[in-house]
């Protein structure tokens, strides 16, 4: 009986060791591929909110951390700086719309420093399928309505959904979601206008303990 227990214990130990080893090997082999795909996906996202013809630096490598109430909460947000021949021309900033219908909506906003929105994308949300999820590009092209829009200061009434007197469409049966996205995009664009004098003092993403 004891011999059988010992034999089974040894067998289980060998199996566990082999399984652990295989898992480690698979992780090592696939990590570079996963990392490469992550970089490509991030580059694609950045190019959707800041047109690639606008810049010629490695935008992903110019990552900074910014914290401001305009970005929807008190957490540090990633900012990616676009340069043309060394000169800052635009940024892409991760931001939050805290007042979505089903909770916070995570976004990224690209704009230059004079209030021109270059692009907006929703990164994560929990809005109602078939209603609020039209903020996703794969569902609707509504998010492209931000492309090239010029914001003329904080009192620009055009930068709102039509129900509030602005230029942006709301969704049938869902106004809260697009209103939250439009307002977050407006706040973030106004914040981006204040950045030029702050760029030199921003901490880099490498300074983060995340």
| pLDDT tens readout for residues 128-162 | 999 999 999 999 999 999 999 999 999 999 999 99
- Between 190 and 210, the more confident residue is 190
Taking the domains of the chain in order of start, what are their residue ranges? 54-207
Does position 166 have pLDDT exceeding 90, yes or no? yes
The span from the CA of 97 to the CA of 172, in Å, is 20
pTM of the model: 0.81
Does position 50 have pLDDT exceeding 50, yes or no? yes
Long-range contacts at 35-38 (CB < 8 A, ≥ 24 apart): none
DSSP secondary structure code for residue 182 in this structure: H
> Residues 195-209: pLDDT tens digits?
999 999 999 997 654
Highest mean pLDDT: which range of 8-17, 27-36, 97-106: 97-106
Query: Measuring CA to CA, which residue among 85, 107, 81, 129 is closest to residue 180?
Result: 107
Does position 124 have pLDDT exceeding 60, yes or no? yes
Does position 13 have pLDDT exceeding 70, yes or no? no
Query: Measuring CA to CA, which residue among 103, 164, 186, 176 is closest to residue 134?
Result: 176
The average pLDDT across 62-83 equals 97
CA-atom Rg of the chain in angstroms: 23
The span from the CA of 107 to the CA of 57, in Å, is 23
At 42 the pLDDT is 85
Task: Compute the mean pLDDT over every residue in the chain, rounded to the nearest whole number.
Answer: 88
The average pLDDT across 119-133 equals 95
């Amino acid at each position: 009986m004891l011999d059988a227990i010992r034999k089974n214990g040894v067998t289980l130990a060998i199996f566990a060791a082999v399984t652990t080893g295989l898992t480690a090997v698979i992780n090592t082999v696939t990590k570079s591929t996963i990392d490469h795909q992550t970089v490509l996906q991030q580059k694609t996202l950045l190019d959707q909110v800041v047109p690639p013809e606008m810049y010629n630096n490695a935008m992903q490598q110019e990552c900074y951390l910014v914290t401001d109430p305009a970005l929807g909460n008190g957490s540090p947000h990633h900012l990616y700086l676009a340069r043309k021949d060394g000169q800052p021309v635009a940024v892409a900033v991760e931001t939050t719309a805290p007042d979505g219908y089903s909770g916070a909506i995570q976004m990224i906003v690209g704009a230059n420093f004079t209030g021109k929105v270059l692009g907006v994308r929703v990164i994560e949300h929990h809005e109602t399928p078939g209603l609020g999820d039209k903020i996703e590009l794969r569902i609707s092209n509504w998010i492209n309505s931000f492309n090239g829009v010029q914001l003329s200061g904080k009192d620009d009434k055009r930068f709102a959904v039509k129900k509030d007197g602005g230029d942006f469409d709301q969704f049938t049966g869902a106004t809260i979601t697009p209103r939250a996205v439009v307002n977050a995009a407006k706040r973030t664009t106004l914040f981006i206008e204040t950045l030029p004098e702050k760029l030199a003092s921003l901490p880099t993403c490498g300074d983060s303990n995340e």
